[in-house]
Amino acid sequence: MRINHSFILTLFAALLVSCEKNSEIKVYRVSKAPLEQSGPQQQEMMPTNTAAPRMPGGLAPAVQTAVTTPPNWEPQPLSQMRQASFLVKGDNGAVADVSFVSLGSAAGNVLENVNRWLGQLGQPPITEQKLAEISQRLHTSLGDMTIVDLAGLPNNADPARDGRIVAAMMTTPDATLFFKMRGNADLTEAQKGDFLKWVAAVCDAQTQTGSSQTAAAPQPQTTGDVPPIKWTTPEGWAEVPPSSMRYASFSVPAEEGGKIDISVVTFPGDGGSDADNINRWRGQMGLAPVDANAVTSGVASLQTGDTTFSTTDIAGNKTRTIAAWTRRDGRVWFFKATGPAAAVEKEKPKFVKFIESVRF
């Protein structure tokens, strides 16, 4: 996956132009969808195998003021992936963090990202059906945004700073746009209307410069741009077309109509900490997060022909996940198998041999 810097620059150049033409933010009314505190266990685990990948901040801080924002939104220094960043302050020390991130178009699987955000709030993952029930649409001239409103307070979290996420995302031919507000539940609720107006204004400003600039944006990175790797596919593994964020996918049938899902995912950067990834995978399985000591004790090294992988084995009530990952040449590679516990146990030796066969 390649971060499309030209598209990002085009987007915010448009903001600067449109702000001079029209400083009014259009009002979009989006009804709030209730979110149950616990959703049904997801039957098929998501292929997302990384925390939000990092990229260097690229745009000048001035772009953060290109679209009018409320007076209590304080611009923050850009860092890592953020193309806009604000700190919202409320009463009694309440705060919320607002961010805008643009990634490649392959980052656009809505369910995977929603379940990642739910994991950040200490909540279990949801299904496609539940996602359809809680998501809303925000119409902009750039296209329809998917809006979700998620509630939950992680263990030991400060309720003045956490408890709610309102997020908007859209995939275009060139990029996936992520807008996110996370913070105190009451403050986030109070700021939701202004947040959605800001999202709509950013999207609308992009179209006001015409199509000439967007047409010049380079195409997103394809699989061919990723350094090739080789492996030996174990007997009985059926290769399936990669989807969304996956570099490769395999499926193995299990008893009683189940299956094991094997994914290969790669991103530029370090892909987040081991603790972040392991606790996110645990959240996808309905398990509580663990502390740093438990994470360290649950990770083992696997030496292969030309690299060293970190591995973990996570057992849930009915499902099991085994994963291996390595970081090299500025990228992180995740290999993960998830399925019924007994079937994964049976397939684990093949998974290990598969990892051992990988050559960069």
Instruction: Tell me how far apart the alpha carbons of residues 342 and 345 are, in angstroms, rounded to a whole number.
Output: 5
Tell me, what's the pLDDT at 353? 96
Classify residue 170 by its DSSP letter. Answer: E
Mean pLDDT of 219-225: 41
pLDDT beyond 60 at 41: no
Beta-ladder partners of 73: 88
- Residue 339 confidence (pLDDT) above 80: yes
Is residue 172 over pLDDT 50? yes
pLDDT value at 122 more than 90: yes
Candidates 102, 106, 167, 109; CA nearest to 138 is 167
What domains does the chain contain, in order, with CATH numbers? 5-214 (no CATH), 223-357 (3.40.1000.10)
Say which residue, 27 or 264, is predicted with more confidence: 264
Residue 312 scores a pLDDT above 90? yes
Does residue 35 carry a pLDDT above 70?
no
Given this model, what pLDDT does residue 103 score? 78
CA-nearest of 322, 323, 345 to 255 is 345
Closest C-alpha to 203, from 102, 106, 60, 82:
102
Q: Mean pLDDT score of the chain, rounded to an integer?
A: 75
pLDDT grade for 80, boundaries at 50, 70 and 90: low
Return the closest-CA partner of residue 224 out of 5, 53, 1: 1
Q: Is the pLDDT of residue 113 over 60?
A: yes
Q: How confident is the model at residue 201 (pLDDT cuts 50, 70, 90)?
A: confident
Q: How many CA atoms lie within 13 A of 190 on its CB side?
A: 15
Give 329: exposed, middle or buried? Use CB within 10 Å, 0-12, 13-18, 19+.
Answer: exposed
Other CB atoms closer than 10 Å to residue 42's CB: what's the count? Answer: 19
pLDDT surpassing 90 at residue 221: no
**How is residue 159 annotated by DSSP?**
T
